[in-house]
Amino acid sequence: MGNALKIARIGGIDVQVHWSFVLILFYGAYTFGQGARDVVAGALYGVVIILLLFLCVVLHEFGHAFTAKYFGVKVPNITLLPIGGLAQLERMPRKPGQEFLIAIAGPAVNFVLALLLLPLALLAISMSARGGASFSYFGLMRAAQSMSLTGLLLSLAVMNLTLGFFNLLPAFPMDGGRILRALLALRLRYVRATRVAVLVGRGMAILFVMWGIFGGGIHGALFLLIAFFVYVGGRGELEAVEGRYILNDFSARQAANKDAHVLYTSEAVSRAVEYIMTTYQGDFPVYDLGHNLVGVLTRPRLVETLRMQGQDGRVVDVMIPRALVPETSGDTPLADVWEKMMASGSRVIIVQDQERFLGLITLDDISELIQVMGAAKEREDVIAGGPGGRSDSSVAGAHSIADIN
């Protein structure tokens, strides 16, 4: 997450604020300042309320973060955005029970806060309205809207209840959706549980869109944003889970390109162009004259080279040195290889057994394999029928708990 300012480090977790967070402060100042008798005081009150609200959001995220840490998952940071918080988890645990607890811990924090705030607010009301304390609905509404300690406490209690319930909506990958997936995964195969949760999430996204269109105002825009997040986030996680499910059946050795054309350090880049024109290959291992692997020339690197210096450059000058390319052993499950590539941001990985180079695997190979073997696996699943044995695959891809509040 770029453009974020670090404001604190708590329990080994960086708390960051995205610059756009300032917008929501202006929004608070405007909303409360506009109708107030004293505009400045109203605006200040608005800023205070928003800051306290987001303090509750941070506590919600720490609920997720500390539960995740308890299960041994690293949490590098928590980021505050205008639409909510984001706790970045290094990975989502393999066990549904753990995902369930991590997801439910956030809303649980809000319910606890509401439980603590409500008695305080009621106490403040009965103290301020000596004699005739009114706990009627309208009395409470008036108190919540007044610029006072009572109003602040009541508003925060209501906001925490709203945060808690809203995040429990089954809109995967929101908290409620994760809870739903975890519960489904107790009975269904992980990949199927994810499919169902994503489908339910899409239904929720459609409701959010309708709310966004007919609800109107700034809240309407917010709901459209939430719907977009639910749709895109859900699709990303589903692709990751399905990909992992398919790749788990293969090892790096099986997928390594054994008969690939190789380049030599002394050759000109034009050689690679020749291969690209006449074969399906786009990425090349580079050998020195002693036949040792010393680097890789990827297609994006080749394109960049051609643009900058034409076909005359030498392979040795433009290749990616071996030390910068991730490596894996032949026995590593392909699902883990994929995860390693994603984590390192590399489009190729070297498959190596002891000192023997087995071949390269590229992201293109992986997506091709997911597509082709996915079709075969779908047919197998249909033949096998029923929920069957639960697979032990875990979640890859998007490893964050995002909250929209």
Q: Which one, 81 or 144, has the nearer CB to Zn ion? A: 81
Q: Which one, 227 or 296, has the nearer CB to Zn ion? A: 227
Q: How large is the greatest C-alpha to C-alpha distance in the chain, in angstroms? A: 96
Nearest Cα to Cα of residue 370 among 228, 263, 246, 255: 246
- Residue with CB nearest Zn ion? 106
Q: Which one, 42 or 106, has the nearer CB to Zn ion? A: 106
Q: Which one, 29 or 105, has the nearer CB to Zn ion? A: 105
Task: Output the smallest distance, CB 174 to Zn ion, in A.
Answer: 7
Task: Output the smallest distance, CB 399 to Zn ion, in A.
Answer: 14
| Peptide bond before residue 173 is cis, with ω within 30 degrees of 0 | yes
Q: Which of helix, strand or coil describes residue 166?
A: helix
Task: Output the smallest distance, CB 167 to Zn ion, in A.
Answer: 5
Q: Give the CA count within 13 Å in the CB-facing half-sphere of 136.
A: 5
Length of the chain in terms of residues written? 405
Q: Which one, 246 or 401, has the nearer CB to Zn ion? A: 401
Helix, strand and coil percent figures for the chain, each rounded to 5: 60, 15, 25
State whether the Cα torsion 381-386-387-391 is positive or negative: negative
Q: Which one, 283 or 403, has the nearer CB to Zn ion? A: 403
Task: Output the smallest distance, CB 163 to Zn ion, in A.
Answer: 9
- Contact between 210 and 221 under an 8 Å Cβ cutoff? The reply is no
In 345-400, alpha helices (H):
363-384
Cα separation of 362 and 285, whole Å?
Answer: 11
Question: Residue 74: is it exposed, middle or buried by C-beta count within 10 angstroms (0-12/13-18/19+)?
Answer: middle
Task: Output the smallest distance, CB 196 to Zn ion, in A.
Answer: 20
Q: Which one, 15 or 122, has the nearer CB to Zn ion? A: 15
Nearest Cα to Cα of residue 144 among 171, 124, 172: 124
Task: Output the smallest distance, CB 188 to Zn ion, in A.
Answer: 23
Cα separation of 362 and 51, whole Å?
Answer: 46
List residues near Zn ion by CB under 5 A: 106, 167, 175, 403
Task: Output the smallest distance, CB 209 to Zn ion, in A.
Answer: 21
